[in-house]
């Protein structure tokens, strides 16, 4: 979107000039998997960023030039800090010193699978105390259509500031994919919606400072719907291949071979892959934001709900396949069997355990009386989680313990590239593979069970 031509007010024009002159100061609220990569991306373009997080440990590490995320190099953080383009704090007063506030906080579900917007609400309430005329407020957290207008705008306007005139509301969903080496924050096209035409223009100008392609849409709600649609598409298609996996397994057909053959068709087919369930900060959660909001309009989102049922059933299916393998091959049950769970990150080559189905499987195995250890070269210690507090602090075994462990079975939940799966098969009596990680293993194929 071109930044030529005047906007409708002196405030908007002054802000536009700051952006054009690259003198805009950016405040990023929430320095996690979305906020920190975004901060570094802006810094690498020579812009000034102030990061805010209520977790005092994160600003402390950033200001010391250290990254707490494997997906962000400490060298990049140190360079940004040394150059003076990045500083971090847990003091919200800095909001008064920035021109753009970008909100990157979690939007989980509560125990009733309803949207939990408390992080967004608390962040906006905190920021509102220090807002001033001539700022952009951009929400990047995934949420249901209407959130920016219904939740954020009233909090801002309660301060006496008028959105669209004094403060410019933008919604631009994050599209981070941890571990993806092909696309980064700067190379992934950015969706931008604005409350008004001025807000949209300013939002596009702002994100064009760091992203190669900005895609404007007609409204805040449309931008919110785009992000949900992307992740619902993935959730529904993953549930489809998970259902096909179970069906084809009963027929003695290898789902992985089917997908590899099907994807040779140059049109009309897009490969998705089955697994032990859904994980990550988006795909298991985002579809239910729309399901919840749709009820307000009397609409039943049956595809979404069915996809959720299928994907949520996968951990039970995996545990059942492990039980069957132990019974058929070793004449043992889960109780007192020695099980190695391989991989607790939600996908390969990252350290992120958010919503990982491996944690639920780990709990189920322990509840069944199995003697369970886990191995993950990316996750040395299971972090604190809301859902699995009893697993916090559990430590991964080391590489040297794989062969010495005497495990009855290994259950592969995450197919990290650095894992030697041939060695794993050599070391265990049974290997239950949910990711097709052992496809290239030639020895002891009789030990491998698909799940």
Q: Which two tokens stand for residue 142?
A: 């995934």
d(CA 422, CA 441): 5
Q: Which residues contact 113 (CB under 8 A, 6 or more apart)?
A: 288, 292
Going by C-alpha positions, the residue among 12, 61, 301 that lies closest to residue 163 is 12
SS3 88: strand
In this structure, what DSSP letter does residue 86 have?
A: E
**Strand partners of residue 443:** none
> Scanning the structure block, which residue is given the tokens 């049109």?
267
Q: How far is CA 394 from CA 322, 357, 361, 362, 389, in A?
A: 22, 16, 14, 11, 10
What one-character-per-residue DSSP string does 371-423 give?
Answer: EEEEE-TT-SB----SS-GGGTT-BPPPTTHHHHT--SEEEE----TTS-HHH
Distance of CA 184 to the CA centre of its chain: 14
Tell me which residue of 318, 319, 240, 245 sits closest to 276, measured CA to CA. 318
List 43, 104, 204, 282, catalytic entry: 282
Round to whole Å and give the CA distance between 280 and 284.
7
Enumerate helices (H) and strands (E) in the chain, giving the number of each. 15, 13
Long-range CB contact pairs, 330-336, < 8 A, 24+: 330/408, 330/409, 330/429, 330/430, 332/408, 334/365, 334/368, 334/369, 334/370, 335/368, 335/369, 335/370, 336/369, 336/370, 336/371
| List of long-range contacts for 443-447, beta carbons under 8 Å, 24+ apart | 447/329
- Total count of residues recorded for the chain: 451
Catalytic residue flag (residue 282): yes
**Which residues does the annotation mark as catalytic?**
282
């Amino acid at each position: 979107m071109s930044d030529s031509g005047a906007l409708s007010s002196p405030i908007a024009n002054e802000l536009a000039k700051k952006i054009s002159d690259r003198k805009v100061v950016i405040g990023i609220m929430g320095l996690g998997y979305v906020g920190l990569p975004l901060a570094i991306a802006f810094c690498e373009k020579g812009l000034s960023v102030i990061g805010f997080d209520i977790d005092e440990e994160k600003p402390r590490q950033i200001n010391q030039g250290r990254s707490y995320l494997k997906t962000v190099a400490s060298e990049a953080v140190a360079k940004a800090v040394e150059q003076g383009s990045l500083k971090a704090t847990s003091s919200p007063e800095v909001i008064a010193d920035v021109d753009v506030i970008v909100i990157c906080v979690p939007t989980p579900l509560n125990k009733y699978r309803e949207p939990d917007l408390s992080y967004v609400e608390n962040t906006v309430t905190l920021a509102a105390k220090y807002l001033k005329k001539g700022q952009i407020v951009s929400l990047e957290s995934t949420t249901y259509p209407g959130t920016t207008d219904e939740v954020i705008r009233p909090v801002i306007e309660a301060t006496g500031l008028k959105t669209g005139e004094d403060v410019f509301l933008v919604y631009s969903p994050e599209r981070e994919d941890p571990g993806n080496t092909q696309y980064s924050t700067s190379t992934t096209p950015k969706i931008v919606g604005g409350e008004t035409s001025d807000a949209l223009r300013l939002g596009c100008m702002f994100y064009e400072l760091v992203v190669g392609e900005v895609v404007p849409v007609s409204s805040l709600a449309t931008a919110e719907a785009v992000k949900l649609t992307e992740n619902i598409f993935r959730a529904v298609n993953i549930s489809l291949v998970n259902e096909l996996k179970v069906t084809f397994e009963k027929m003695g057909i290898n789902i992985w071979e089917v997908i590899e053959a099907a994807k040779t068709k140059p049109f009309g087919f897009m490969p998705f892959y089955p697994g032990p369930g859904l994980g990550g900060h988006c795909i298991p959660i985002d579809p239910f934001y729309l399901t919840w909001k749709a009820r307000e309009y009397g609409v039943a989102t049956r595809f979404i709900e069915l996809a959720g049922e299928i994907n949520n059933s996968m951990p039970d299916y995996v545990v059942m396949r492990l039980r069957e393998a132990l019974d058929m091959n070793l004449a043992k049950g889960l109780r007192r069997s020695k099980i190695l769970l391989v991989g607790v990150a939600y996908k390969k080559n990252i350290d992120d355990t958010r919503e990982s189905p491996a944690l639920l499987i780990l709990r189920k195995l322990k509840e069944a009386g199995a003697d369970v250890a886990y191995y993950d070269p990316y996750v040395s210690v299971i972090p604190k989680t809301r859902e699995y507090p009893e697993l916090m602090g559990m430590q991964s075994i080391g590489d040297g313990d794989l062969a010495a462990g005497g495990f009855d079975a290994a259950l592969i939940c995450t197919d990290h590239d650095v894992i030697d799966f041939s060695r794993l098969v050599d070391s265990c009596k049974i290997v239950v593979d949910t990711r097709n990680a052992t496809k290239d293993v030639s020895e002891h194929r009789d030990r491998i069970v698909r799940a």
